[in-house]
């Protein structure tokens, strides 16, 4: 794999959105990720496929700085995930397979909480939180699809600093028949338009 990716016309080189060089992560004597080499360009949609236990979630957690990088290297838009974690983290969103939104908060309050964790300025945070069209509904009292992750998916896509959003089991908790995918796509388009 090459170190950089040529984008556009001319000779300007930009870093890959995500780059893993020999990423290795072990739980005791068991290697969950063993020498992963990966380059994902800006704007590219990429999926990690494999059976349960293949190390997909562990790799995603290393890339998103939720786990340390004990061996190898991970870079997010050129920021080293091991040494410049907050710079990398500000450019990423992560939607885990299991729901982690606070069920006692509204969707709007959950998005505000995540935005504060990622140090999004107050004015920008307010603009993005306004994207939550279901924001006044408490997570405990919403349909199962919203409880299982729709609010998080909307919220991550509404945060202004995110360049990449990682979804662990991307469709989990979303019902295509009810229009959930359409709602998430609409939120993402609005977020991109706002900046």
- Yes or no: say if 24 and 72 are a contact pair by the CB < 8 Å rule: yes
Q: Print the domain residue range for 141.
A: 99-195
Domain shared by 145 and 104, yes or no: yes
- Does 142 or 50 have the greater pLDDT score? 50
What is the structure's pLDDT at 1? 27
What is the structure's pLDDT at 23? 96
Domain shared by 71 and 103, yes or no: no
Counting the structural domains of the chain, the total is 2
pLDDT-based confidence at 12, cuts 50/70/90?
low
89-142: pLDDT as tens digits: 878 776 666 556 666 777 677 777 777 766 677 777 777 666 654 444 444 444
- Above 70 in pLDDT, residue 5? no
- Does 137 or 86 have the greater pLDDT score? 86
- Above 70 in pLDDT, residue 163? no
- Above 90 in pLDDT, residue 171? no
What is the structure's pLDDT at 176? 46
- Residues in a beta bridge with 75: 19, 80
- Give the tokens for residue 141: 């009292």
What is the structure's pLDDT at 66? 85
180 inside domain:
yes
Average pLDDT over residues 162-169: 51
Closest CA to 153 of 124, 123, 175, 122: 175
Distance CA 150, CA 162 (A): 17
What is the structure's pLDDT at 58? 92
107 inside domain:
yes
Average pLDDT over residues 151-177: 49
Closest CA to 78 of 21, 18, 131: 18
Domain shared by 74 and 113, yes or no: no
Write the DSSP symbol of residue 150.
I
94 inside domain:
no
Q: What is the pTM of this model?
A: 0.58
57-77: pLDDT as tens digits: 899 889 988 899 999 999 999
What is the structure's pLDDT at 129? 66
What CATH number should be reported for the domain holding residue 50?
3.40.50.300
């Amino acid at each position: 794999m090459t170190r950089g990716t040529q984008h556009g016309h001319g000779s300007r080189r930009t870093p890959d959105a995500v780059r893993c060089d020999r990423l290795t992560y072990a739980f005791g004597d068991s290697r969950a990720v063993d020498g992963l080499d990966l380059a994902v360009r800006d704007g590219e949609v990429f999926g990690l496929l494999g059976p349960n236990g293949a190390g997909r979630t562990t790799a995603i957690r290393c890339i998103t700085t939720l786990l340390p990088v004990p061996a190898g290297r991970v870079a997010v838009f050129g920021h080293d995930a091991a040494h410049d974690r907050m710079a990398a983290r500000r450019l990423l969103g992560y939607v885990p397979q299991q729901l982690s939104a606070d069920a006692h908060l509204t969707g709007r309050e959950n998005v505000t909480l995540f935005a504060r964790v990622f140090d999004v300025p107050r004015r920008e945070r307010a603009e993005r939180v306004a994207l939550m069209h279901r924001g006044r509904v408490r997570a405990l009292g919403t349909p199962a699809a919203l409880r299982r992750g729709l609010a998080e998916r909307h919220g991550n896509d509404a945060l202004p600093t995110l360049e990449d959003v990682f979804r662990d089991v991307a469709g989990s908790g979303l019902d295509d028949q009810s229009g959930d995918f359409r709602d998430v796509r609409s939120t993402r388009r609005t977020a991109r338009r706002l900046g």
